[in-house]
């Protein structure tokens, strides 16, 4: 048995609290410091770069690392960003009033997905906590951003779950301890909750109690029990585990609709560089199009970008607003100046509700509301606006209230005081008066007493031992009046106190404490009053975000020459002079992006087989087509001279041999997995980009797979629109046989062994890849380049023209490969039977009987 060890009482208290938070790093308040012990101390010192020391603990030692309590704001984010959950343990009593050990307890658990801390949060990004509940292969999902109050739920299969993961990128996931978590989620920050947190009745009760409703019908989620269960676990986690009980800013729970959005999978998001560039110094699509001023709008834009709409009407409502701002330039200028003065209303309300708002922040809320009010006034004369967005609420009442109650300049720290305005509270005014006028009062008293006693050298002063006193030099001792009480005798002087001075002292010394207690309670009252307007402020914040996004889009359109797209319910994509928004912004000075036209539909031109030399711009064409459609469906103008787009419901992109070594899978395997996923999920409104699919294996395998995929997509009942970039010129043969496959190439000009890239997409296939030329451009040794040219010549000569002919023959055969060409004798009989039938005289009954006879022939 281990020898029992002696601990100090402080460490015993520490250990008992730490035992309740084994997964968290415990910041233990001791006096003016937050201390960490043992393994927590080792981690803390490494992450924060602070000194690791040892502390005596009874008959042993433990590691210790600590920092002053006022450094919490700067150190906490570093710990949380390092992926740690941090429990903040505070002193729950005033040490001065307690004998022995102070009572301590955890007052907040900050985790990657649950925080209000501005240093941990990114203002242009939501910070979601995802709760996952699973039953029989179905998932209930709930997401909360506690900093903004957004609360979303969904229910569905694994694909839906993965889509939500890619879309909302939660910082933390909670799930039921006893249920295994899907493989795809394992790399995330995960916290396991006990089974009781994932019970439907508990969840239902918690949610209805929070929203003060009888049922969840009003939120449209009643029929999603798994989602409700997941949402209930969020409450358990927030309230029980992380001590966030003040959640009144979460005012609704919203269903993420199943079918309202264009689906973009994780690969497509990455490949099109929608949120993140593929190179560290590159730009994402979001970087290019984000011209918003407010953090709420930045977050809304991000959300819209990954959840593009499918409703033509909804998209047009958004486009109308963009067009409106492009038309009304003067108004746009005035509003955009005001938007710059609006703070993060959504997060300020979150802080207000959770009682974490500082006076300075409340001041920001006030000035933001003033700007919102001005925008409201500016928009009022425009009668079209209400058809596109909800009108802004009138908040003049709460603005006036805040102006009347709060000082102009406000401190960060409430304890600094001077938060509440004069005239709000009589007692506060009197106390402040006393504090400020104390000096005058003493001077006045001093003058009065001098006159009364005739002691010219009389002075009034203060020390910490005796408080206020009147000092009289010994020479004037005899003039001291009866009512003065002697306090102290010095060598040359005597010190006295009077009734009046004593009263003054009690008042002035208590005033400071009273002022701060009064200000504290008045501040809480002011906050509570603002909270009464929470719904309207939250709604205004959401409307401002929409205005800001639309206004930003109109600025973008004007700066970059974008035009309003035409959306329709058809199946064609017709783009004139379309451009790639990211590439056109990253070209070297003086180089111009060359626009291109694209036409795709389900009837005549379903698959474009795009060939062209390396570096010609094939990928650019593919991606710009998808990006233009995507921008149109989020309600933005687009980089094209004209765009008509039949609504898309999915964009798939796959790039051959994308490097995925870090995931430990064969690159080719990944490529095939992803291609298989496309083939199994296409719809008639899908747009598919296949960029050199098949190149991850040998040429023959690659050509065969690429050919078979193109053939499959062409033959698929949904006829998904596809852009196929390839170096396999053999694929150009397909257009001869498959009517909706069209060949295009990207033009180049050859001039005495060098190549000029024209960047123009033209009809017809191309002959060469110019890979060797590109290798030469890249600085490959001349010897290697010339040898490669020799080998290419030999290979091209030996590549029998027969091979492509063969594919053609097989294809043609496949196409005609019908019932009647099979050699089976039974089928031969059927053929005979069928040819004997005279359709013109056959009655329906006879037809049925014939069919039955034929069925019998094949044993049916």
Ligand X SMILES: Nc1ncnc2c1ncn2[C@@H]1O[C@H](COP(=O)(O)OP(=O)(O)OP(=O)(O)O)[C@@H](O)[C@H]1O
Residues that bind ligand X (CB under 6 A): 583, 593-594, 612, 614-620, 759
Residue among 733, 744, 729, 735 nearest 597 (CA): 744
Query: How far is 90 from 50, CA to CA, in rounded Å?
Result: 21
Output the CA torsion sign for 403, 405, 410, 412: negative
| Residue 614 C-beta: closest distance to ligand X, Å | 3
**DSSP code for 114:** B
β-strands 172-176, 190-193 pairing: parallel
Q: How far is the CB of 593 from ligand X (least distance, A)?
A: 4
CA angle 580, 582, 160 (to 5 degrees): 90
Cα–Cα dist 493/670, whole Å: 95
Q: Does the annotation place 609 within a ligand binding site?
A: no
Closest to ligand X by CB, 279 vs 836, is 279
d(CA 155, CA 134): 10
The answer to whether 778 is a known ligand-binding residue is no
User: What's the min distance (Å) between Cβ of 615 and ligand X?
Assistant: 5
- 38 marked among binding-site residues: no
Closest distance to ligand X from the beta carbon of 759 (Å) = 4
Nearest-CA neighbor of 578 among 563, 559, 557, 558? 563
Structure tokens at 647: 């609504």
* 614 labeled binding residue: yes
Q: Which residue is nearest to ligand X (CB)?
A: 617
Beta bridge partners of 746: 761
CA dihedral 303, 304, 310, 316 (to 10 degrees): 150
* Contact (Cβ atoms closer than 8 angstroms) between residue 188 and residue 172: yes
Q: What are the structure tokens assigned to 182, written together?
A: 């899907």
Q: For residues 57 and 726, which CB has a smaller minimum distance to ligand X in the complex?
A: 726
CA 757 to chain centre: 39
Q: Which is nearer to ligand X, 567 or 610 (CB)?
A: 610
619 annotated to bind ligand: yes
CA angle 811, 815, 818 (to 5 degrees): 130
User: What's the gap between Cα 182 and its chain centre?
Assistant: 22
CB of 538 to ligand X, least distance (A): 43
Helical ranges in 340-425 per DSSP H = 345-353, 359-379, 396-405
CB of 618 to ligand X, least distance (A): 3
- In angstroms, how far is CA 677 from the centroid of its own chain? 26
Minimum CB distance to ligand X, residue 600 (Å): 18
| Rg of the chain over all Cα atoms, to the nearest angstrom | 38
Structure tokens at 709: 């995929």
The distance of closest approach from Cβ of residue 560 to ligand X in the complex, given in angstroms and rounded to an integer, is 15
Give the residue with the Cβ less far from ligand X, 539 or 658: 658
Q: With respect to ligand X, which residue has the nearer C-beta, 435 or 614?
A: 614
Q: Does residue 617 have a known ligand-binding role? A: yes
Alpha carbon 642 to chain centroid, angstroms:
32
Q: Write down how long the chain is.
A: 860
Question: How distant is the alpha carbon of residue 49 from its chain centre?
Answer: 30
- Side by side, the strands of the sheet bearing 607-611 are 263-264, 650-655, 686-691, 721-725, 607-611, 741-751, 754-763
Q: What is the dihedral of CA 263, 142, 168, 106, to 10 degrees?
A: -170
Task: Compute the least distance from the CB of residue 119 to ligand X, in Å.
Answer: 37
State which residue, 447 or 762, has the beta carbon closest to ligand X.
762
557 annotated as a binding-site residue = no
- Assign 3-state DSSP to the chain and report helix, strand, coil percentages, each to 5: 50, 20, 35
Give 531 or 583: the residue with its C-beta nearer to ligand X.
583
Q: In the complex, what is the shortest distance from the CB of residue 624 to ligand X, in angstroms, rounded to a whole number? A: 8
Question: Looking at beta carbons only, is 282 or 423 nearer to ligand X?
Answer: 282
Say if residue 760 carries a ligand binding annotation. Answer: no
Q: How far apart are CA 208 and CA 193, in angstroms?
A: 21
Q: 263-264 and 650-655 as β-strands: parallel, antiparallel, unpaired?
A: parallel
In this complex, which beta carbon is closest to ligand X, that of residue 307 or of residue 761? 761
What token pair was written down for 142? 């709930």
Complex with ligand X: residue 600 or 616, whichever CB lies closer:
616
In the DSSP assignment, the letter for residue 638 is B
Give CA angle at 61 (60, 64), nearest 5°: 160
Tokens of 733: 């043969």
What are the tokens at 484? 């003065």
Write down the residue that tokens 């330039």 correspond to: 329
Whichever of 362 and 655 has its CB closer to ligand X, that residue is 655
As a whole number of angstroms, the distance between CA 366 and CA 530 comes to: 10
**What single string gives the DSSP state of each residue in 625-689?**
HHHHHHHHHHT--BSSSEEEEEPPSEEEEEETT---GGGTS-HHHHHHHHHHHHHHH--TTEEEE
Sign of CA dihedral 112, 114, 118, 124: positive
Minimum CB–partner distance for residue 620 and ligand X (Å): 4
348 vs 747, which CB is nearer to ligand X? 747
Q: What is the smallest separation between the CB atom of 591 and ligand X, expressed in angstroms? A: 6
Neighbours of 832 (CB within 10 A): 9
CB of 612 to ligand X, least distance (A): 6
CB neighbours of residue 783 within 10 Å: 8
The nearest distance, CB 788 to ligand X, in angstroms, is 16
Binding-site residue set for ATP: 612-619
Binding-site residue set: 612-619
């Amino acid at each position: 048995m281990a020898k029992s060890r002696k601990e100090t009482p402080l460490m015993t208290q520490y250990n008992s609290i730490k035992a309740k938070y084994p997964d968290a790093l415990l910041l233990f308040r001791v006096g003016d410091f937050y201390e960490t012990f043992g393994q927590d101390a080792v981690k803390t010192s490494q992450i924060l770069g602070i000194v690791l020391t040892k502390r005596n603990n009874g008959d042993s030692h433990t590691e210790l690392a600590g920092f002053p309590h006022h450094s919490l704001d700067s150190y906490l984010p570093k710990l949380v960003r390092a992926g740690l959950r941090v429990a903040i343990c505070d002193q729950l009593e005033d040490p001065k009033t307690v004998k022995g050990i102070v009572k301590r307890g955890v007052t907040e658990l900050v985790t990657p997905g649950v925080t209000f801390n501005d240093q941990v949060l990114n203002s242009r990004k939501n910070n979601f906590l995802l709760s996952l509940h699973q039953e029989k292969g179905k998932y209930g999902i709930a997401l909360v951003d506690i900093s903004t109050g957004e609360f979303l739920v969904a229910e569905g299969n694994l694909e839906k779950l993965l889509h939500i993961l890619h879309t909302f990128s939660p910082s933390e996931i909670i799930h039921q301890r006893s249920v295994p978590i899907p493989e795809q989620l394992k790399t995330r920050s995960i916290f396991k909750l006990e089974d009781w947190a994932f019970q439907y009745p508990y969840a239902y009760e918690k949610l209805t109690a929070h929203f003060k409703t009888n049922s969840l019908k009003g939120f449209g989620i009643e029929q999603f029990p798994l989602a409700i269960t997941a949402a209930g676990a969020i409450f358990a986690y927030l309230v029980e585990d992380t001590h966030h009980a003040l959640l009144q800013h979460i005012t609704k729970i919203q269903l993420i609709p199943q079918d309202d959005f264009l689906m973009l999978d994780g690969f497509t998001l990455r490949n099109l560089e929608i949120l993140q560039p593929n190179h560290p110094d590159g730009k994402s699509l979001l970087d290019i199009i984000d011209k918003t001023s407010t953090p709420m709008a930045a977050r809304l834009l991000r959300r819209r970008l990954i959840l593009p709409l499918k409703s033509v009407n909804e998209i047009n409502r958004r486009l109308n607003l963009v067009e409106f701002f492009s038309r009304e330039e003067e108004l746009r200028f005035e509003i955009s100046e005001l938007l710059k003065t609006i703070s993060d209303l959504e997060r300020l309300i979150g802080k207000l509700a959770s009682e974490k708002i500082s006076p300075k922040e409340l001041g920001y809320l006030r000035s933001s509301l003033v700007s919102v009010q001005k925008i409201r006034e500016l928009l009022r004369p425009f009668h079209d606006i209400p058809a596109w967005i909800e009108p802004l609420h009138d908040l003049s009442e709460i603005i006036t209230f805040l102006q009347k109650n709060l000082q102009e300049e406000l401190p960060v720290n409430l304890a600094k005081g001077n938060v509440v305005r004069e005239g709000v509270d009589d007692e506060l005014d009197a106390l402040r008066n006393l504090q400020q006028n104390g000096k005058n009062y003493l001077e006045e008293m001093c003058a009065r007493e001098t006159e009364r006693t005739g002691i010219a050298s009389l002075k009034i002063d203060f020390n910490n031992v005796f408080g206020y006193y009147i000092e009289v030099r010994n020479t004037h001792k005899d003039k001291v009046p009866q009512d003065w009480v002697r306090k102290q005798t010095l060598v040359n002087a005597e010190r006295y106190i009077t009734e009046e001075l004593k009263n003054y002292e009690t008042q002035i010394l208590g005033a400071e404490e009273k002022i701060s207690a009064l200000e504290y309670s008045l501040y809480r009252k002011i906050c509570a009053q603002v909270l009464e307007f929470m719904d309207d402020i939250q709604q205004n914040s959401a409307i401002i975000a929409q205005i800001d996004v639309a206004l930003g889009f109109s600025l973008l359109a004007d700066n970059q020459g974008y035009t309003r797209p035409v959306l329709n319910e058809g199946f064609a994509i017709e783009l004139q002079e379309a451009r790639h928004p990211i590439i056109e912004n990253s070209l070297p000075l003086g180089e111009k992006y060359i626009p291109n036209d694209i036409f795709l539909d389900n009837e005549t031109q379903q698959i474009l087989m795009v060939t062209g030399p390396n570096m010609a711009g094939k990928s650019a064409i593919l991606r710009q087509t998808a990006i233009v459609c995507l921008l149109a469906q989020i309600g933005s103008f687009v980089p094209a001279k004209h765009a008509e787009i039949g609504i898309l419901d999915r964009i798939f992109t796959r790039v051959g041999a994308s490097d995925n070594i870090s995931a430990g899978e064969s690159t080719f395997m990944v490529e095939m997995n992803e291609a298989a996923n496309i083939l199994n999920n296409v719809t008639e409104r899908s747009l598919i980009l296949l960029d050199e699919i098949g190149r991850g294996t040998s040429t023959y395998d690659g050509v065969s797979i690429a050919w078979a995929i193109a053939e499959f997509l062409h033959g698929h009942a949904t006829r998904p629109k596809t852009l196929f970039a390839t170096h396999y010129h053999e694929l150009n043969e397909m257009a001869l046989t498959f009517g909706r496959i069209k060949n295009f190439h990207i033009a180049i000009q050859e001039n005495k062994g060098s190549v000029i890239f024209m960047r123009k997409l033209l009809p017809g296939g191309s002959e060469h890849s110019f890979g060797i030329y590109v290798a030469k451009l890249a600085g490959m040794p001349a010897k290697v380049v010339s040898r490669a040219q020799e080998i290419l010549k030999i290979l091209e000569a030996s590549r029998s023209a027969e091979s492509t002919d063969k594919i053609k023959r097989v294809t043609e055969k496949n196409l005609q490969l019908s019932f009647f060409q099979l050699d089976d004798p039974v089928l031969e009989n059927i053929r005979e039977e069928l040819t004997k039938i005279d359709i013109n005289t056959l009655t329906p009954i006879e037809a049925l009987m014939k069919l039955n006879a034929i069925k019998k022939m094949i044993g049916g």
